[in-house]
Amino acid sequence: MDTGFVKSSIKENICTVEFFHPAHNSLPGNLLIKLQTQILDAGKNDNVLLIVLKSKGDRTYCAGASFTELVAIDNEETGKEFFMGFANVINAIRSCGKIVIGRVQGKTVGGGVGLAAACDYCMATKYSSVRLSELAVGIGPFVIGPAVQRKVGVSAFSQMALNPTEWQTAKWAKDKGLFTEVFESTRQLDEYMEEFVDKLSKMNPDAINLLKSVFWENTESWDALLEKRAEMSGKLILSDFAKSAIQGFLTA
């Protein structure tokens, strides 16, 4: 069975980190660990100036957490460990020291929205609707909440968190600041991204790295904050409500 992958490639000081999973690019724990590791490795590489985060495929960027793993969680420690996977990836993007540019080609849910929000600059296609579905499965967008709220504000974050079954359009996401640009097609997205990244890679690297630190000022507490949020989700995922809701999604 294809369990997905995370792979990195470096070309002209640009490191592209790409992930894939056959279940709509959902992210089980092993892929989250690989994402964290490869983003941090790129950050330590003196030959890398910028990082591009993308997924494979056409109309789905990321379906968020792996429901198969969620339904199997049977204790708080395992629950916390799973949600720490998303916390660690967000903190890797935050702390890697390199500008991370997101490429979102399609729908994204839950944890995928968190990844897009954590990117320093994120571009998308018009097919990139977003949704925070966590409340519908008995938990909440606790771990990704700080990253999402940082980008879109409390009001828009609240709208998404409390309306977990409603998709918000890519235009909505751009208007709220989650996406910086929205394109008619993946081809247009990639053409613009190639031009944008090429121009940015020719800027003063010291200035770019300092901008990264400026963008993330006052987030030094996130290591502890996201761990606390992972504990919250790890407890809630054990509830009868959550188990029943996730099983319902798996059998739908």
Kindly list the averaged pLDDT for each block of 10 residues, start to end, along the chain of length 252. 87 97 95 98 97 95 94 95 98 98 98 98 98 96 98 98 98 98 98 97 96 98 98 96 90 76
pLDDT of residue 2: 63
List the domain range (segments joined by +) for residue 158. Answer: 5-185
Quick check: is 149 in a domain?
Answer: yes
- Closest to 21 (Cα-Cα) out of 8, 7, 11: 7
The C-alpha atoms of residue 16 and residue 18 are separated, in whole angstroms, by 6
In this prediction the pTM is: 0.96
Residue type, 234: G
Place of tokens 């109309």: 59
pLDDT of residue 1: 41
Quick check: is 191 in a domain?
Answer: no
The C-alpha atoms of residue 250 and residue 63 are separated, in whole angstroms, by 13
Quick check: is 134 in a domain?
Answer: yes
Q: Taking the CA of residue 137 as centre, how many other CA atoms within 13 Å lie in the half-sphere pointing to its CB?
A: 23
Quick check: is 32 in a domain?
Answer: yes
Quick check: is 78 in a domain?
Answer: yes
The C-alpha atoms of residue 113 and residue 136 are separated, in whole angstroms, by 16
Quick check: is 236 in a domain?
Answer: no
* CATH label of the domain that carries residue 134: 3.90.226.10
Quick check: is 205 in a domain?
Answer: no
Q: Is 222 helix (H, G, I), strand (E, B) or coil?
A: helix
Structural domain count, the chain: 1
Quick check: is 222 in a domain?
Answer: no
